[in-house]
Chains A and B, each alone.
Chain A
Amino acid sequence: MSTELLIAIIITVVGASTPILIAALGELVVEKSGVLNLGVEGMMLVGAITAFVVTFTTGNHYLAIVCAAGAGVAASMIFGFLTLSLSANQTATGLALTIFGTGFSALAGQGYSARPVTLLGPLFPAELATHPVWRVLFGYSALVYFSLIMVVVVWFFLKRTRAGLILRAVGENDLSAHSIGYSVIGVRYAAVAFGGAMAGIAGACFPLLLTPQWAERMTAGRGWIAVALVVFASWKPFRLLAGAYLFGLVMTMELYAKAGGGPLSSIPSELWAAMPYLATIVVLVLISIRRDASSNAPACLGRPFLPSN
């Protein structure tokens, strides 16, 4: 394989991985606080249509990203209000949020599908990315660097800050966190909002980073991949980074193998498509055997906080 091709593959993999990485980082924080939001796919679609409409009307990509984040937060607050303030079942509410996001984005996107926009260009000036090797480092749009920075930020926040410690405490044992005097609900609201913002930005990646158009259901199940990825990474940000790129590689290698006709092209495409999910189950089982899941899977995941008052 030539260096040129290798570099080209890396660049495509980075693009394909970025939205799932961003969405999964958000979901990781949500789950660390003890909440399981299965509405990622729906929030991503809300973010995608918001980003598209804002880009189309203003031409300002960065404004579009901010608005997509805001729309993601708004969508996540439906979930937050129901599950946190009203202790509704998280699984059902998350699914409802996905149905809502799919319907809402399709309705809001009517009439926008025959309209082109432009992708968000590379962050650094083109002179930095003339040599192919430099292109791997400096050839991406801001969304890619954002996703990488956020890996560090989320890791630092969870491991090194007091707020992160509280968030983890709330996810591990809500009742004791509550008895010490932390606002379980408040912390979880903040986490859910963060998850919404990240899912919205992940959605924005579709029209701004991958394919500059709006199409109904254009996230095509990647929100669920993000949910799988959090588990795959056993709730650790740097493993999440590795996992996202691995998933992106699997999704992209299939296409390169088929287009290039190499030996890998004989693997049925259905197996390629199923691989991320099967791999996630395998990882789930492995980490459980090694018993380090118990230390990482938030103990309160998916359970409503019901202080006995």
Chain B
Amino acid sequence: MQFRLEKRREPSRVVLYSAPLIAVLLTMFFGAIIFSAIGYDGVGAVREIFLTPITNSLKWQDLAVKASPLIIIGVGLSIAYRANVWNIGAEGQYIMGGLAATWVALLTHGMGGFWILPAMMVAGFLGGAAYAAIPAFFKTRLNVNEILTSLMLTYASVQLIYYLVRAPWKDPMGMGFPQTRRFASEALLPNIVPGTIVHAGVPIAIIVALVAWFVMSRSVFGYQVKVVGSAPHAARYGGFSENKTIWLALLLSGALAGFAGALEVSGPFQRMVPGFPTNYGFTAIIVAFLGRLNPLGVIFAGIIMAITFVGGEVAQTTIGLPSSASGIFQSMMLFFLLAGDILVRYRLKRVAPQGEARA
């Protein structure tokens, strides 16, 4: 018996939205089998990684804090990817946003004033956007592949952090350790739920996603992005500028990544440290796909990814699962999801074994 793929007339919405769920379930099922087979408590691993973070209310604040930068970056990326602009350097833009915000915080240290935190956020926005402008410029002017430039810039930005915290920005009172001073209280992101670690970045993430969803589904801009992304030729006839869309997509995704960096450095980190790059920018790529490049979907995808991180740590302490296991679960989830994608546009059809040879 053989199967062949047959193109659907309309992309299947049912498959589109159920695929992430199925991917998660398949990951849980096969993950349990695989980890049992290699001598761990596989069922326990799945329980601790996927369920404990949801069922234990103490973990919700962790999920919220871990998910919010992923959501903010993921929303920006999903818009860029819709426009067929492959910004994979969000990590670098996140870093530059964090550095720009740090710069403001250090410059204004000791000044006081309510405007410092907003200024840091703006700096984060601009820092991320400026860094994304480099691939945008080269892409639109010289047709240089933005995947490659944005990726290369990420590695350069990591070195920039190392340099800044080791030399010019080093905390004078920090016993020589490579990190900046702790930000003044005016430069710190406020906590919004007393007694927890939930900071202002959490509602901001939700708002960003909702606004993006509204813009993408209701505005001319959203329409333009989708048309340019899916049918560039048609877009040209329709009078939409491809270059303008590339610029917008990169600047927007860069600005959001930079904004997330500013929120992270002023919230959870409270100073710039060499450990600031925590792969949020790369993880957000997965989040964007898991969320079907839809801002609302990104909210759920961000939470699912946060669950696997938080749960991975739970599983280490409760059942002694090594830390590498969460990476395996995450990649499995993505593999299943990507594998299921084809069923959105195609359906499986059974054909006779001696069916015609396909090229």
Contact = CB atoms under 8 A, between A and B. Distances in A.
A68 B152 CA distance: 28
Given A91-B147, A182-B359, A231-B148, A99 B322 contact: no
Interface stretch (B233-241, B245-253, B323-331): B323-331
A297 B146 CA distance: 13
- Give the interface SS of chain A, mostly helix, strand, loop or mixed: helix
A113 B59 CA distance: 33
Nearest to B40: A107
A274 interface: yes
A288 interface: yes
A104 B325 CA distance: 8
Contacts of A89: 289, 338, 341
Contacts of A288: 138, 142-144
A122 interface: no
A104 B324 CA distance: 7
A95 B283 CA distance: 9
Contacts of A270: 159-160, 162-163, 166
A309 B38 CA distance: 43
A243 B282 CA distance: 27
Nearest to A93: B338
Contacts of B276: none
Interface residues of A, number: 54
A95 B285 contact: yes
Contact of A178 (B286, B334, B359): B359
Contacts of A95: 88, 282, 285-286, 334
Contact of A99 (B38, B145, B323, B331): B331
Contact of B7 (A82, A182, A309): A309
14 contacts: A86-B339, A86-B342, A87-B342, A92-B289, A92-B338, A95-B286, A104-B324, A110-B322, A216-B324, A224-B151, A228-B151, A231-B148, A281-B138, A284-B144
Interface of B: 7, 38, 86, 88, 134, 138, 142-145, 147-149, 151-153, 155-156, 159-160, 162-163, 166-167, 282, 285-286, 289, 322-328, 330-332, 334-335, 338-339, 341-342, 359
The 6 closest A-B pairs by CB, nearest first: A103-B327, A106-B324, A100-B331, A88-B338, A288-B142, A270-B163
